[in-house]
Amino acid sequence: MAASDSAPDQQSFATQRDPRLRVIIPMIVAIAFLMEQLDSTIITTAIPDMAVSLGTTPLRLNLAVTTYILTLAVFIPVSGWFADRFGARRIFALALGTFTVGSALCGMADSFGMLLAMRALQGLGGAMMTPVGRLILLRSFPRSQLVTAMTYMTLPAILGPVIGPLLGGVLTTYASWRWIFYVNVPFGCLGIVMALRFIEDVRGEVMARFDYRGFLMVGAGVALLQYGLENIGRPTIPVPAIGAVLFAAILLLLAFGRYARRVRAPAVDLTLFRLRSFWVGTLAGGLCRIGLNGVPFLLPLMLQVGFGESPVVSGSLTFVSSLGALLIRPALSPLLRRLGFDRVLILSAALGSAGVAGFALMQPDTPHWLLLGYIFLFGLLRSMQFMTSNTLSYADMPADKLSRATSLGGVLQQLSVSFGVSVGAMLLGLVSFESHVLTPERFHEVFLLMAIIPLLSIPGFLYLRPEDGVQVSGHQRRKQPGAQ
């Protein structure tokens, strides 16, 4: 591929040369997102049954979620470099294949240890799959069509969260939890065939040597941080050792911060944070997502363990969360055009916090129709926050930095999921430490504590200016009388 093909702001985009690709490319990328979203949501409904089958506890099964997500976060920094070096199409197809094989092996797991190992293999595939897919999308559409392109991509991908909990409940109740992994296989095979047929093998212009030292520092720091958080609620090592692990994690990440300033092409490009729209979208948005991402893990547990509902009923209630997302996505473009990124993010963070706290009012005798309506509303608010912050992160990003930005943004996005689950599990372990009984009251306490986190992101959103992301949002704020 010629060098001009890797500079999207100066090239004839693939979607301009062939209008069919405006639908086909987002659909191909959506298959990857569908697999990831289906896999992450379908497992939450099956956790109690998986715990019984593998001889462990439901709380410990959160490791099956966090192992996968942590592997994503550790290896995502490699994705941009590999896509530039070997071609986006080739890496994307290879990632789909790795994820598909990992899914099949997860279904065959006969022990808790084997399940965790195969979830790590899935994470290795997912680490390349979704950020490279997003990079393909960003390089295939003009910047002015970015919101539309992401909407095309995420509408099919939203099928994963929509059907995941319900399908997980049905498969767990009437077949086996193993089938929640086998369902990824046909999607993966279809995605590989379509990617090889329709996606251009775009590479970066300049290839720097991969920063192995920086990659090891970031990976080890993130892994130790995750391990330390896991042990706060359910310690498997002495308390002083937990403190030492967390201290070592912070030291490694701080050391990388100093190291990255001296290296020409670090594994994680921290200079991207100089762009206000990127750091607000990824850091402030990521903090907000931590609070909101605890709900998909905690809610099915509360319904099944706290309320005594079956996996089918739990899945039937929680799946409507993603139906609310279907409504907000088509409305997002006009909403951003009218209010701008800053107001939408502040509003969604405040409403999202109230939404998390509202789950503390749910009781075992709460009517199912009321639960359905509330979960639907929460899904709408959660999706508005996620889609807006994710779009803002790349709205003003220069084309030559998109590869590194998608890698770093992908790391932070996955860490927000991992930390959301870990913080939720940690708090649940702490509030039930004495009784070791997961009653509805214990879940209510955790939801109230998790609701504080989205509010902490609002000061970050206040840093945004009206002109941030206007090329994407099209927002024109009316000037105050007398303003220059």
| Tokens representing residue 225 in the block | 């941080």
Strands, E assignment, 327-455: none
User: What is the extent of the structural domain holding 259?
Assistant: 211-266
Same domain membership, residue 138 and residue 33:
yes
- Angle at which helix 62-86 crosses helix 212-233, to 10 degrees, equals 170
For residue 427, tell me if it sits in a domain: yes
What pLDDT is attached to residue 29? Answer: 82
Question: What is the CATH number for 90?
Answer: 1.20.1250.20
For residue 327, tell me if it sits in a domain: yes
| Tokens representing residue 58 in the block | 């439901």
> Would you say residue 375 has pLDDT above 60?
yes
For residue 287, tell me if it sits in a domain: yes
> Would you say residue 151 has pLDDT above 90?
no
Cα–Cα distance for residue pair 377/321, rounded to 1 Å: 7
Give the rounded distance of the alpha carbon of 150 from its chain centre. Answer: 15
For residue 216, tell me if it sits in a domain: yes
Highest mean pLDDT among 17-21, 82-86, 184-188: 184-188
Highest mean pLDDT among 164-173, 198-207, 215-224, 242-251: 242-251
For residue 114, tell me if it sits in a domain: yes
- DSSP output for 39-66: HHHHHHHHHHHHHHHHTS-TTTTHHHHH
Same domain membership, residue 144 and residue 243:
no
What pLDDT is attached to residue 197? Answer: 83
* Percentage of the chain lying above the pLDDT 70 cut: 84
Number of domains the chain is built from:
2
Report the range of poorest mean pLDDT among 119-128, 168-177, 444-453: 168-177
What pLDDT is attached to residue 369? Answer: 92
- Asked if 391 and 327 count as a contact pair (C-beta separation under 8 A), the reply is no
> Would you say residue 393 has pLDDT above 60?
yes
What integer is the mean pLDDT of 48-56?
82
The end-to-end CA distance of the chain, in Å, is 48
- Asked if 63 and 116 count as a contact pair (C-beta separation under 8 A), the reply is yes
Same domain membership, residue 166 and residue 124:
yes
For residue 9, tell me if it sits in a domain: no
Cα–Cα distance for residue pair 270/260, rounded to 1 Å: 7
Cα–Cα distance for residue pair 129/32, rounded to 1 Å: 6
- Look up the pTM and report it: 0.72
What integer is the mean pLDDT of 287-299?
88
* The amino acid at 51: A
- Asked if 136 and 199 count as a contact pair (C-beta separation under 8 A), the reply is yes
| In 87-111, alpha helices (H) | 88-107
Same domain membership, residue 392 and residue 418:
yes
Same domain membership, residue 413 and residue 352:
yes
Residues 210-256 have pLDDT tens digits of 788 888 888 888 888 877 877 776 666 788 888 898 999 999 989 99
> Would you say residue 480 has pLDDT above 80?
no
Cα–Cα distance for residue pair 9/5, rounded to 1 Å: 10
Across the chain, mean pLDDT equals 80
What pLDDT is attached to residue 484? Answer: 46
What pLDDT is attached to residue 199? Answer: 80
The answer to whether the Cα torsion of 29, 35, 40, 44 is positive or negative is positive
* The amino acid at 282: T
